[in-house]
Amino acid sequence: KAGVTQTPRYLIKTRGQQVTLSCSPISGHRSVSWYQQTPGQGLQFLFEYFSETQRNKGNFPGRFSGRQFSNSRSEMNVSTLELGDSALYLCASSLVGTASYEQYFGPGTRLTVT
Amino acid sequence: LAKTTQPISMDSYEGQEVNITCSHNNIATNDYITWYQQFPSQGPRFIIQGYKTKVTNEVASLFIPADRKSSTLSLPRVSLSDTAVYYCLVVPDSGYSTLTFGKGTMLLVSP
């Protein structure tokens, strides 16, 4: 079974621009979560989607948004990029009905904002 | 959510057993203890989870005392490829997929 895939793997953007990252979960997984990882703040939860609905949201500004499609694929968007948005963005998927502790992470998208 | 405390870093040599202890004094009744492993520039990988006593899988063992205020991840006979950051998480059995990561423990295995 294929793992979680994320595209693109690397991205360089300029301050003020916007960016869209994509995540394809493991087949059959309906929950998709997004995390931001930086050296200073570590791994932080952004939001979680299930059945095209946002179920949980972390403490991030409204510039960070996401959506989930009917095939469970998810995208996250960051508008008006700031230098501090440079990070590794990780997507994770999990099965519905299982305990929430076991999530499968993708390789991440490395975003650099200049 | 229960806060977790674990050592910032640990050093070991190949072939040794490594034990990483995590403190979670405020763990709730329906919380599970979960450990993840992360290599540089990769996403975290689920290692093991438990509720109480001892759990063992092909990768590690997890020891949880009766009061559940701490847990110990045991890695038998580590190799260089076990060099990674190990995260201890307390996860409520709520069905919601939200993981709260702390700083983790950077394990360095030397030859």
pLDDT tens-digit profile of B5-58?
999 999 999 999 999 999 999 998 888 999 999 998 899 999 999 998 899 999
Q: How far apart are CA A29 and CA A10, in angstroms?
A: 25
Dihedral pair phi/psi, residue A110, rounded to 5°: -90, 110
Q: How far apart are CA B99 and CA B36, in angstroms?
A: 10
Residues of chain A above pLDDT 70, percent: 94
A100·B89 Cβ contact <8 A: no
Decide if B51 touches A, using CB distance below 8 A.
no
Residues of chain B above pLDDT 90, percent: 76
Sort out which chain A residues have CB atoms less than 8 A from B44's CB and list them.
43, 90, 105
> Residue A100 is nearest to which of B42, B91, B101, comparing CB atoms?
B91
pLDDT in tens, A19-75: 999 999 999 999 999 999 998 889 999 999 998 999 889 999 999 999 999 999 999
Mean pLDDT, chain B, whole residue set: 92
Q: Is the pLDDT of residue B93 over 90?
A: no
Q: How far apart are CA A27 and CA B69, in angstroms?
A: 36
A50·B97 Cβ contact <8 A: yes
A32-70 burial by CB neighbour count: b if 16+ within 10 A, else e? bbbbbbeeeeebbbbbbbbeeeebbebebeeebbbebee
> Residue B101 is nearest to which of A43, A100, A106, comparing CB atoms?
A43
